[in-house]
Structure 1
Amino acid sequence: MSSKASIRNQIRSYGNTIEEKKIVEKILKSLSQRFEHVVTVIEESRDPSSLSRHDLMGSLQAHEKRTSRYSERPIKQAFQSKMIMAE
């Protein structure tokens, strides 16, 4: 279980609830700098108060998957591209 889920469960055990809006805001604030442009787009294009944490996580995972495909390019392919450009 993630630490965020654990904290949320502890708060609930004391009879308090956390609004979905607060969870979404906390997630957006806690993201690293490499997600800054994604956070900006989400905040500008969607109403964070109506965004569920599941939708937010889906958007963040889609971004992560999209950016990871660029870093997964095989080194051999990168060298071949560089050699072709040098010729």
Structure 2
Amino acid sequence: MRRLLLPVIAAALVLAGCTGGDDTPDGGEEPTATASPTFSADFADLEEEYDARLGVYAIDTGTGQVVEHRADERFAYASTIKALAVGALL
């Protein structure tokens, strides 16, 4: 009986980790995107000042407010772009 107990407990733990969870926050509401022109203008100013593209997506978990700038664009990850940048340099 003891030989069977450990595998049963291990299987129960694995199966418990496979259960689906609730994808929404405790409030049950999905965050709403609020386009704030002040943030967009600030981000555009930063892009112009540093001659770079800026991608921002932030959620205030307390209020559900979303701030986004170029959220639909894809950006290269810093760790993957390094090899390509060095390859182009050489």
The answer, yes or no, to whether TM exceeds 0.5 is no
Larger radius of gyration: 2
More strand by share: 2
TM-score (norm 2): 0.24
Structure ranking higher on relative contact order (CA contacts 8 Å, 6+ apart) = 1
Q: Which has the higher helix share?
A: 1
The two structures have a TM-score, normalised by structure 1, of 0.24
